[in-house]
Amino acid sequence: MASDNRPLSPHLQIYKPQFTSVLSILHRITGVALALGTFLLVYWLMAAAAGPDRFAQAQGLIGSIIGRLLLFGWSFALFYHMLNGIRHLFWDAGKGFELKTAFLTGWLVVAGAVLFTLIAWIAAYSVMGGI
């Protein structure tokens, strides 16, 4: 009974809002990064429209180490932004505001983004027949 009223460590109170605000700023950062990534998407589509040589060139660029690293980061950004965007849409509908729920859905978003990214890349590499 008495222990119920004991003050909690300030750590918890500080940590929870911090976690959710990091997720919030990440939504903005990934949104801007995705917008920059559209340059690559448009380059790729235009290369395909220009013909086989240009397309091969673009595929070579995207398939390079730097290209793959960029694409990997971009795929994570896309999955994170999509899942956290869905979280935002639930908030807009008035659902999931409680700190506990916001904390839990935040972790779900992070775990989901990691999982989706891994699945996409494992699938891509198995389509290509290994590394």
Query: DSSP 3-state assignment of 98?
Result: coil
Minimum Å gap between C-beta 23 and ligand HEM is 11
With respect to ligand HEM, which residue has the nearer C-beta, 31 or 112? 31
Q: How far is the CB of 118 from another protein (least distance, A)?
A: 12
* 70 counts as binding ligand HEM under rule CB under 6 A: no
Give the footprint of another protein on residues 77-96 (CB under 8 A): 78, 82, 85-86, 88-89, 91-92, 94
For the chain, state the CA radius of gyration: 20
- The interface mask with ligand HEM, positions 36-55, x = CB under 6 A, is --x-----------------
Residue 89 interacts with ligand HEM (CB under 6 A): yes or no? yes
Rounded distance, CA 4 to CA 14, Å?
Answer: 20
Single out the residue of 34, 70, 71, 110 in contact with ligand HEM (rule: CB under 6 A). 34
Number of H helices, E strands in the chain: 4, 0
Read off the amino acid at residue 43: Y
**Contact status: 118 vs another protein (CB under 8 A):** no
Q: SS3 for 4?
A: helix
CA distance 60 to 46: 15
